[in-house]
Chains A and B, each alone.
Chain A
Amino acid sequence: MNSLDTEVTPAMKAGAGMRFPVILFFSSAAFWLVFGSFLSCLAAWKLVVPSLLDGTGWLTYGRIQSAAENALVYGWASQAGIGLGLWLLARLGRTALGSEKLLITAGLFWNLGVLLGVCSIIAGAGRAIEGLEFSGAAAAILLIAYACIGIWSLILLRDRASDGLYVSQWYLLVAFLCFPWIYATANMLLIWRPVQGSAQGPIASWYSGSLFWLWLVPLTLAGVYYLVPHIARRPVRAYPSSALAFWCLTLLGGWIGTRQLIGGPVPAWMVSASVAASIIMLIPVTVICINTLGTFSGRAIPPVPEASFTVFALVCFAGVALQGAATPLLSAVTHFSDYSIAENVLAIFGFISMGLLGALHYVVPRLTGRAFPPRDATWHFWLSASGVATMFLALTFGGVIQGFALYDPGVEFMSSVTLAAPFRGIYALGTLVFLCSCLAFAAAFTRNLLGGQAPSKTPRVYPEPSEIVKA
């Protein structure tokens, strides 16, 4: 074993101080993951069997589907990312975290906001703007809760005891700075004091693009850049190029969203700019894949769950970028078809969720001192990977076929429904498999928290990536 692994560094103490807030964020994220996957599974089945649980307002497809998406984004992905981000900032900066109470209160408030938001959608008070369906009050609570988290993360960065800033810290800085800006702008202009309808389309699509590329992606990438050198036990490959990727991604992130309005009621330059940004985005994503996947090249990937999750997530990340760049080629057929849902599956489940789950598999044992049993972790990986793959492939194939039916002027609309139906059935099976994987994870996670698992054999102290980079 590498001597660095057993050397006790001050970073360890920092991690210990972060325990309760991070565990709070992770456990509530796990709850919303199960909840959101359950609702998205229910919605998928309702599309296949429309009479399933119909006739009740709060169980109608439109509300369940929006509630599922929002629970997954704000309840699961954002909270797992926030927990991970705080842990990384303390670890990398070797700062002991003060004010635990502030973060715990903020975490509770954030959950209150998500709960209120989900209830508002189910009760029929949702706002019908993609990603912004929460009622105005719920959004305000989320922002207030976020203020504490965001300010604390900046304090953590400023008061760091280590020299320099590692790439994970850059990405966390982008995420923690951009989120309040994006979320407040969108809520101000679309929910609290809506602008005229003619301007809402581009603002809403800017929001959904920015939320992904400037909030969820940087949070996940921060985890990936931290995990990869730890798993591979070597420095990140071509580390200096990660700065290029970082600036490219941050610059382009805000421009990506409007491509979903291709052909729509917006000025043509907005769509062109967004398509151009999607194509240029291949550069940073390629560099990121070389930095991360390239680090593993030439040697076997270690048989730890976080490695499988991370590699799977990165392959999906490359897929997301390729799909984005292919928009001008495919959009005539794929726009508005189930293929668009497949794109979301690849982005939100394939990259963000799998990446964050990998990080959780790594961080949780180091917080509790107890390892996940390897067999549970393997099951969890294969169930979630096959769930994501099934959902993605079914919707991609079904979406292309449905897309041709939607495109061809000689084909009736109902044919597109009939043609897509079998693929939606397979998709619904995929959501069920993914739900099982979430339940398996939640069970293992709960047992780990309650102390039902064997103590971790690996030492809880690890060298930081900055040290590995220098090594």
Chain B
Amino acid sequence: MQAKGRPVTSQKLLTGRAGRATKSEARIRKTRKLIAHVLIIAFGSLMLYPLVWMLFASFKPQDEIFSSPGLLPQTWTIDNFVTGWTGIGYPFSNFFLNSFVVAATCVVGNLFSCSLAAYAFARLEFRFKPVLFGLMLGTIMLPFHVVLVPQYILFHTINWTNTYLPLVVPKFLAVDAFFIFLMVQFIRGLPRELDDAATVDGCGPIAVFWRIILPLMRPALAVTAVFTFIWTWNDFLTPLLYLTDRSKFTVPVALNAFLDSSGASSWGPMFAMSLLSLVPLFVVFILAQKQLVSGIATVGIK
């Protein structure tokens, strides 16, 4: 909107010529905000619809889940939760505990090993560093199914099948190149002067890592922790392959036991237990939310 041929800066547009917002400009601003909000809410609802559907489906009796077109149940029942809790022969809390133990240990493993590896790549000098860095990046490009069978053969030979060790021990050996790379980029953004100052004061490399770099890496550590937790919690194939004892199942494998593609699956209990399994993920995400957003946003930029 131009007035009287004079170029109007955006600031003047917002605040009017006299520094105060004129009525029509304020109305336009409000309308734009309203439209933006409506669009975002609509899109958000679209994204959330499957979850909302699952929420209501877990309260419907089994024969109503797929046959009634409406979202809300015609008959509310908590049968699915009751059946689902003990459906597989063990109370579902057992599987939640298993998943939590595995996920938490993997988080600790990743935080420990990936931060050390990243520090080495970002700050230390050693022979063959470019080769090793290239190899590390190469593992990200390797499709999972290529290593599936050799890994299984390895773990079977050392008798680690039907234990949690194949799921957890690799995390302590810095296998997640994605997080190593994330942290490398983050550390590169930290000024070397801090390192030099610490060295002058008598710190060796380990002390520099522990006292200077690690405390500054909190956002990257939060990103690693949250994503490791979520991905490990949702991982289906690895626990399926290595865990054969029903009592050791994690949540995704236990949910799979409700399905029977050659017969009638127990959809109701499965939806009910899936809903419950989302709760820990939400809690973890909310707790780490602040650090997570700042971590993703500031990687490499300081």
Query: Do chains A and B interact in one complex?
Result: no
**Which residues of A does B touch, CB under 8 Å?**
none
